[in-house]
Structure 1
Amino acid sequence: MWILPLVGYVGLVFGFAFLTLAIASGLYYLSELVEEHTRLAKKLLQRLIYTVIALQILLVLVDGFPIGLSVLSVASHGIYSLNLRHFPVVKVTSPVFILSCFLVLLNHYLWFTHFSLPPPPPPQSSSRYDLYSSTDLPSFAEISSYFGLCVWLTPFALFVALSAGENVLPSMGSEYATGEGSSFVSPGKGPEGPGGVGGGKGGGGREGMAKAVVNGVRDWMGDTGELMGFWKGDKVRRF
């Protein structure tokens, strides 16, 4: 067969492209929701952190998860919650934010190492109980669900929530909101631009981190496509 493998490769490329566009669209839509409901987003993030901590404690008490790694996970979510003190303003150069990013990578590595270890050997005993007992190994679905809910969900939600920059009150936008290292990106005009304090939606308002990433990738793809001749635009007309 020659044609069917080629069709499979083309389908993989299109599937990956559509999946990437779907994720980018979802991030953009979530960013818009966070901007419109900042107070509700903060409350939901707090409830999410408390829920993950309670779930981690239950996993230790009921399923016998390792205590050391579970304590690290609970402490990490406590550090994550410190980013909500000035929500929606988050300074990406603050020690709390940098420590949170480090803890995300550390938790992923340690839990991945834990689940990658071979199962312990069965106990050498001739008792009736051991004859019918077997090692209860977690399945791939259980491991991936644990990573998605207890390791990645809270940092991902915090990353999306960093986009709530349009509704910052002037009283919150002092050095922490507009200083160097703030999570808000000012495209064009600064906080004192035509839209007044904070710019607003009509005068160069600040973009959050998630929206800035999506817009940056979209602009880069548009400029690259114009320069390569896939479509015409402003950059092609200049020549």
Structure 2
Amino acid sequence: MWILPLVGYLGSIVGFCFLTLAIASGLYYLSELVEEHTVIAKRLLTKLIYSIIGLQLILWLVDGFPFGLTLMGVVSHVIYLGNMRRFPFVRLTDPLFIVSCVLVLVNHYFWFQHFSEAQQRSYSRLSSMYDQPDVPSFTEIASYFGLCVWLIPFALFVSLSASDNVLPTIGTEQPSRNDGKNKRQGMVKVIVDNVLSAIGEVTRLAGWKKPEDRF
């Protein structure tokens, strides 16, 4: 068969493009919701951080998760909590924000290393092919990563704003005028708008789109 594999590759590419657009649209909508309900979003994120810290401590006490990695996860979420002091305003050069971004990668690496080594040790102890390895399933590992490693950084990325033009609230450094022109925008909206603008500029330079046409 020659044509069917090509159809499979084409379908995979189209499906990936639609999935990417769906995720971008969902993040854009969530960012708008946070802009409209900032107080509720801050309260929800704060409670969510405390809940995940409690969950990590329970996993350490009951399921015997490693103390060092658990402590690193708890400290990371305490640092994530520090980003809430000026929520939803954030400066990309803020040391606390930079440390939070680094901790996301560090947590992912060490927890991935932990589960990989646990699986290797469990499979090496099997005496026969009929023995069942005592390791977490893929669903359990994915759920832990989704809730305890990625959820809060992902929620902060969607919720935080990248513009300096914020309304005067507690914790802001420079209140600005609400004249209808300067408006706080979420980081996701800024990124999506910049990507669309870049694509529109490329298509205009390539002659595929007239300057007066909207992308």
TM-score, structure 1 length as denominator?
Answer: 0.78
Contact 2:46 2:81 in 1 (8 A): yes
Contact 1:162 1:209 in 2 (8 A): yes
Q: CA RMSD in A?
A: 2.6
| Structure 2 CA distance for aligned equivalents of residues 7 and 77 of structure 1 | 45
**What residue number does 1:232 align with?**
209
After TM superposition, the runs of 4+ consecutive aligned structure 1 residues lying more than 6 A away are: 164-167
**What residue number does 2:185 align with?**
207
User: Residues 23-62 of structure 1 correspond to what in structure 2 (within 5 A)?
Assistant: 23-62=23-62
Unpaired stretches in structure 2, ≥5 consecutive residues: none
**What residue number does 1:69 align with?**
69
| Structure 2 CA distance for aligned equivalents of residues 92 and 47 of structure 1 | 24
Matched-pair identity in %: 58
Give the 3 Å change call, closer, same or farther, for CA 164–34 of structure 1 in structure 2.
farther
| Structure 1 CA distance for aligned equivalents of residues 101 and 211 of structure 2 | 38
Query: Which moved further from structure 2: 55-64 or 71-80?
Result: 55-64
Residue 123 of structure 1, CA deviation: 10
Contact 2:59 2:65 in 1 (8 A): yes
Unpaired stretches in structure 1, ≥5 consecutive residues: 125-132, 179-190, 192-196
Residue 198 of structure 1, CA deviation: 4.5
Give the 3 Å change call, closer, same or farther, for CA 77–143 of structure 1 in structure 2.
same
Residue 204 of structure 1, CA deviation: 3.9
Query: Is 1:153 matched with 2:151?
Result: yes
- Quick one: which of 156, 160, 163 aligns to 2:161? 163
| Structure 2 CA distance for aligned equivalents of residues 167 and 235 of structure 1 | 29
Structure with more of its chain in helix, by fraction: 2
Tell which structure's C-alpha radius of gyration is larger.
1
Residue 141 of structure 1, CA deviation: 1.5
Residue 147 of structure 1, CA deviation: 0.8
Residue 224 of structure 1, CA deviation: 2.1
**What residue number does 2:105 align with?**
105
Structure 1 letter corresponding to 2:181: G
Contact 2:158 2:188 in 1 (8 A): yes
Q: How many residues align?
A: 207
Contact 1:227 1:235 in 2 (8 A): no
CA deviations over 1:196-225 (Å, ceiling 9, x no partner): x155xx314242321111111111222223
Query: Which moved further from structure 2: 100-109 or 160-169?
Result: 160-169
Structure 2 letter corresponding to 1:60: W
**What residue number does 1:140 align with?**
138
CA deviations over 1:33-77 (Å, ceiling 9, x no partner): 000000000001001101111111111112111110001001100
| Structure 2 CA distance for aligned equivalents of residues 66 and 171 of structure 1 | 41
Structure 1 letter corresponding to 2:161: S
CA deviations over 1:120-154 (Å, ceiling 9, x no partner): 55499xxxxxxxx9642011121111111110110
